[in-house]
Each structure stands twice: as structure tokens, then as C-alpha cells.
Amino acid sequence: ARGFAEERVIAEGRRHAPGKQVIDPVLERLGRAGAGPLFLFAHLTEPHAPYDRGRAEGSEYERYLAEITVADAEIGRVRRLLKQRFADRGVLIVASDHGEAFGEHQTFQHTKTLYEELLHVPLLIEGQGIAPRIIDERVGLIDLGPTVLDLLNQPTPASLFGQSLVPLLGGRGRKLERPLIAEGRLRRALTTPAGIKVIDDPRRTTVEVYDLVADPGETRNLWGRDPARAEPALATLRAFFKAQALRRPGYEAPYKP
């Protein structure tokens, strides 16, 4: 895996390894950690369709919640070891690559839309000097790379868009200036610091704009109703993707229906 000195493949193909099979090697590697810095990444696939790792009965949503408890227990094993052996320098970061839809916007599971049920994911960070609290600042997964590098006292390459969250973790303010961007199936989304979210679908030539503060469920499209807020957000989104688009002779962005 690019950027890693070690890699442990637990499952190949489309088979999802149970959480215990993923976390056991993590605990083993932590047990061999020395005095120097160490960064470990593990990907749990609970919760995930077909939602059969927690309980066999109940609705899909109930089985999904049961799988969250399975993932929570496995994360708890890592947390206990960090507290036992690395209380003075261990940091635990828990995030998700996507959410899950259960009928919101007439969709189920994930990958199909860029609505908040898929984009608004948990982010929990625990470690020495991090006081327990909720931070309302909107951040993105692109900020995790710079944050980890900052925690390890390493510089962030200029090619990374994200910004370190370490000042926020320490209770200090930080102005976050990078855009919050999402992309999938040729749809693009941008969320402004004020909570205005625009979804641009150039393939279907549709635009959706939502005020996530007043309308967190994204039920009222402001496009055509509130041009003062909607049009600048769309212009910013399109300018960003125009500047960052990959351009090569014969290249066409892949589309998955």
C-alpha cells in the first residue's frame, strides 16, 4: 500500500474480513512498538451491507446498528491497549469513509448520492492533551493526513489540500480555508463554511443547493429560489473542479451508473 512500510492483507477480493481478524494483527503490531513513532491504519467493514455481522433478525437498520456495536467492541480493544502501553503518546482516530442511506432521498446503502446521510460521518480523536468535547467546526477526511503528520511532527506536503486539526484538538482556534469537497459518479459537491451546500451533476445538468443549518435533511432545494447564496457557491465549486481536473490526451473521467 502506497506510503506504508508494512502491509498485512487479511482478506482478498470482495470478501470482507470480520473485525476481529483485522484488529488482532493491529494489537500484535502495537505490542511490538518501540520508542519511535508508529502509524497504523486498519479498515473495519462492519457496519456494511448485508448487515449480517451483529444479529440475524430485525430490519436492515436494526442489523446495521448491531454491526456498529461489533465495530465499537473491536475499536475498544485498540483503545484499551493504547491506554495501557502508550497513555502518554498514543492517539486514536476513528473515522468512516461513508455513511449509509435507509430511505433518505429514496435511496439505500451508499455510493449513489452526495447527500449528508452519506457524507456526514463520525470523526473521533482521543489522546494525551485532548480534552473531551464536541467541536462543531466542519472538517473533512482530507484533513486527517495533515493532522497525523502534525501529530508526528512532520511537515505537510504542499500537494495536500487538507489542514491540520491539531490546533483545534488543543483547544486553540484555527481558520480552515480549504474547500470541503466531495465527488462520486461524476457528481460534485461543495460545502461552504456557512453551511451552504451545492451539488452539481453535469451529466444530468442538475444543480441542488441546500442550507445545512436550516435544512439538515436537504429537503428544500434553493437553486432558483435563493440566487444570492446559491450562485456564488456553484461558481466556487465549478472553479475548483476546473482548476483541479485531470487533463490528458484521450482521458475521460470514468462513470459508474
Nearest one of 234, 231, 210, 199 to 114, comparing CA atoms: 199
The DSSP element (H or E) to which 72 belongs, if any, is: helix 60-85
Cβ neighbourhood burial of 97 (10 Å; 0-12, 13-18, 19+): exposed
The answer to whether 104 and 115 have CB atoms below 8 angstroms apart is yes
CA 195 to chain centre: 17
Residue-wise pLDDT tens digits, 171-226: 887 888 888 999 998 999 999 988 999 999 999 999 999 999 999 999 999 999 99
Residue-wise pLDDT tens digits, 78-113: 999 999 999 999 999 999 999 999 999 999 999 889
User: Secondary structure of the chain: what % helix, strand, coil (to 5)?
Assistant: 30, 15, 55
Cis amide linkage into residue 254, ω under 30° from 0:
no
Nearest one of 127, 192, 195 to 166, comparing CA atoms: 127
Residue-wise pLDDT tens digits, 15-60: 889 999 999 999 999 999 988 899 999 999 999 999 999 999 999 9
Grid cell of 42 as nine digits: 486498519
